[in-house]
């Protein structure tokens, strides 16, 4: 384990273009002329005026010496990107401790979610876990109950896998009607990362699974002691116990120092701050798999243990946050995913689902990971209804909200994988709508 780094240290506030003693020293080294130029620029009265257009002029940052290495020992985005942040919907929950925040998909590119922008879901806030004191206990129907430190866990053979995690309530606010005019708030409870850790099957082989065992109870070290039941088959198939995310230690928001990743299944089962795995003969029917994370059907019955994330896709450009600037050639961009495995095809419609064209899928197309698609589009400035529809390798086709509502009604909260419709108006603005 590497020691925690100092993160997010604000740079010392320093007015732009003022002489910096460090720079003055450097001028000895022969940068004098350049420095005089840049410092002079800051000192002239003309700095109060708008800067000359660049080009033809050299921009101010082309005429200065920038800060050196380790100016920011832990890097951060450009200041001008400060609006690219996770956001929450204040009216949704009583407080922020049991709540959700959404990834800003409108500003993300590619299939990997940066660690600071990965969506959050807490049930008892974000615990501050000491990795030296954290333990993973594996017990129940096993031959050798085991207690592991983080150092122990890191010694096991490691694997790295790219997988999405999606909260099954992603899009849950749109079951009845279009409500939120936003890509971020309607789809931002999905993120994707490269996870590194040990296969759960390796740990279970190490403790020796008794033959009566058929289920695992996985539990977190947060105040909610969040717990879920998982069939042993899934645990042995592809579950990972991970300590790293996109190459660095997990973020506290994502379960530091240890979390479970259950590929392709609803995010809630990927227990964060993982502290205990207990094997048993039957499921536990915990509150999170009875009161919550069950789907209420129109006839009053409910479905439990609906873990799978269905095939789903969304156009991320254009979207309400990123309207069109006027007629012309654009690249429609989007993301597709499925808990069944790989994305096979994505189709895009500009007329609300009457006609479709297949989009280009971008490599890598990985199992249970986000897949990027694009399609060039010449927009003539007339109204359009943009939709994307994914077909996964099992042949599952993403449904419309009308088709889904016919089966599920409007009260099942979870697992809304329906097609998103973006209405493009002649002025290029984009709105969240439903058709039918």
**228 to 247, contacts with another protein by CB under 8 A?**
none
Three-state DSSP string of 94-112: CCCCCEEEECCHHHCCCCC
Number of residues near another protein (by CB under 8 A): 106
Give the separation between CA 34 and CA 255, rounded to whole angstroms: 48
Q: What are 263's two structure tokens?
A: 């590929």
Give the separation between CA 250 and CA 118, rounded to whole angstroms: 11
What is the separation of C-alpha 25 from the centre of its chain, rounded to a whole number of angstroms? 45
Least Å distance, CB 193 to another protein, is: 22
Binding-site member from 212, 300, 329, 427 for another protein (CB under 8 A): 300
Alpha carbon of 334 to those of 127, 359, 371, 373: distances in Å?
Answer: 34, 10, 8, 5
Give the separation between CA 354 and CA 340, rounded to whole angstroms: 27
Number of residues near ligand HEC (by CB under 6 A): 5
Q: Looking up tokens 């010392």, which residue turns up?
A: 12
Give the separation between CA 284 and CA 281, rounded to whole angstroms: 9
Give the separation between CA 229 and CA 284, rounded to whole angstroms: 6
Task: Say which entry of another protein, ligand HEC, none residue 138 contacts (CB below 5 to 8 A, set by partner kind).
Answer: another protein
Least Å distance, CB 55 to another protein, is: 28
What is the separation of C-alpha 333 from the centre of its chain, rounded to a whole number of angstroms? 17
Task: Say which entry of another protein, ligand HEC, none residue 298 contacts (CB below 5 to 8 A, set by partner kind).
Answer: another protein
**402 to 431, contacts with another protein by CB under 8 A?**
403-404, 406-408, 411, 415, 423, 431
Binding-site member from 1, 112, 365, 433 for another protein (CB under 8 A): 433
Q: What angle do CA 169, 172, 175 make, to 5 degrees?
A: 150
Q: What angle do CA 295, 299, 305 make, to 5 degrees?
A: 25
Under the binding rule (CB under 8 A), the answer on residue 287 touching another protein is yes
Least Å distance, CB 364 to another protein, is: 23
**251 to 310, contacts with ligand HEC by CB under 6 A?**
287, 291
Pick 76 or 225: Cβ nearer another protein: 225
Q: What is the CA radius of gyration of the chain?
A: 25
Pick 176 or 287: Cβ nearer ligand HEC: 287
Binding-site member from 83, 128, 233, 363 for another protein (CB under 8 A): 83
Encoded one letter per residue, x for contact with ligand HEC by CB under 6 A and - for no contact, window 86-125 reads --------x---x------------------------x--
Least Å distance, CB 434 to another protein, is: 5
Pick 330 or 356: Cβ nearer another protein: 356
Cα separation of the two ends of the chain: 54
Contacts of 12 (CB under 8 A, 6+ apart): none
Pick 189 or 384: Cβ nearer ligand HEC: 189
**330 to 359, contacts with another protein by CB under 8 A?**
345, 347, 351-357
Give the separation between CA 303 and CA 340, rounded to whole angstroms: 19
Under the binding rule (CB under 6 A), the answer on residue 161 touching ligand HEC is no
Pick 218 or 261: Cβ nearer another protein: 218
Pick 164 or 293: Cβ nearer ligand HEC: 293
| Pair 226, 180: CB distance under 8 Å | no
Q: Looking up tokens 């420095």, which residue turns up?
A: 35
Q: What angle do CA 120, 347, 345 make, to 5 degrees?
A: 75
Under the binding rule (CB under 8 A), the answer on residue 368 touching another protein is no
Task: Say which entry of ligand HEC, another protein, none residue 330 contacts (CB below 5 to 8 A, set by partner kind).
Answer: none
**168 to 187, contacts with another protein by CB under 8 A?**
177-182, 184-185
Under the binding rule (CB under 8 A), the answer on residue 89 touching another protein is yes
Task: Say which entry of ligand HEC, another protein, none residue 263 contacts (CB below 5 to 8 A, set by partner kind).
Answer: none
Q: Which residues form the interface with ligand HEC (CB under 6 A)?
A: 94, 98, 123, 287, 291
């Amino acid at each position: 384990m590497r020691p925690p780094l100092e993160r997010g240290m604000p740079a010392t506030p320093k007015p732009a273009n003022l002489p910096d003693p460090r720079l003055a020293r450097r001028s000895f080294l022969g940068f004098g002329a350049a420095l005089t130029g840049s410092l002079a620029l800051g000192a002239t009265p003309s700095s109060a005026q708008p800067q000359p257009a660049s080009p033809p002029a050299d921009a101010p940052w082309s005429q200065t010496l920038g800060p050196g290495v380790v100016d920011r020992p832990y890097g951060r985005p450009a200041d001008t990107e400060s609006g690219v942040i996770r956001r929450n919907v204040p009216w949704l929950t009583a407080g922020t401790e049991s709540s959700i925040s959404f990834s800003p998909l409108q500003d993300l590119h590619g299939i990997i979610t940066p660690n600071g922008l990965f969506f959050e879901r807490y049930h008892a806030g974000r615990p501050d876990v000491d990795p030296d004191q954290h333990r993973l206990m594996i017990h129940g129907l096993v031959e050798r109950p085991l207690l592991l430190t983080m150092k122990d866990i890191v010694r096991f053979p490691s694997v790295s896998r790219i997988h999405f995690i999606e909260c099954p309530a992603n899009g849950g606010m749109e079951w009845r009607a279009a409500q939120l005019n936003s890509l971020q708030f309607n789809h931002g409870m999905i993120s994707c990362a490269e996870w590194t850790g040990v296969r759960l099957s390796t740990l279970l082989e190490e403790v020796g699974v008794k033959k009566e065992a058929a289920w695992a109870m996985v539990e977190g070290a947060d105040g909610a002691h969040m717990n879920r039941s998982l069939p042993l088959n899934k645990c042995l198939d592809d579950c990972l116990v991970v300590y790293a995310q996109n190459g660095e230690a997990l973020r506290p928001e994502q379960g530091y120092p240890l979390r479970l990743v259950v590929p392709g299944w609803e995010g809630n089962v990927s227990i964060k701050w993982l502290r205990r795995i207990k094997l048993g003969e039957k499921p536990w029917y915990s509150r999170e798999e009875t009161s919550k994370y069950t789907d209420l059907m129109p006839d009053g019955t409910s479905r439990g243990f609906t873990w799978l994330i269905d095939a789903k896709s969304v156009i991320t450009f254009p979207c309400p946050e990123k309207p069109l600037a006027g007629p012309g050639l654009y690249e429609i961009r989007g993301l597709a995913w499925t808990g069944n495995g790989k994305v096979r095809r994505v189709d895009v419609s500009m007329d609300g689902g009457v006609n479709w064209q297949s989009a280009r899928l971008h490599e890598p197309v990985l199992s249970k990971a986000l897949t990027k698609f694009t399609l060039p589009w010449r927009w003539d400035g007339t109204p359009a209804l943009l939709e994307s529809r994914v077909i996964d390798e099992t042949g599952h086709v993403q449904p419309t909200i009308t088709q889904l509502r016919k089966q599920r009604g409007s009260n099942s909260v979870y697992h809304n994988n329906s097609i998103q419709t973006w209405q493009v108006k002649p002025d290029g603005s984009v709105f969240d709508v439903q058709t039918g």
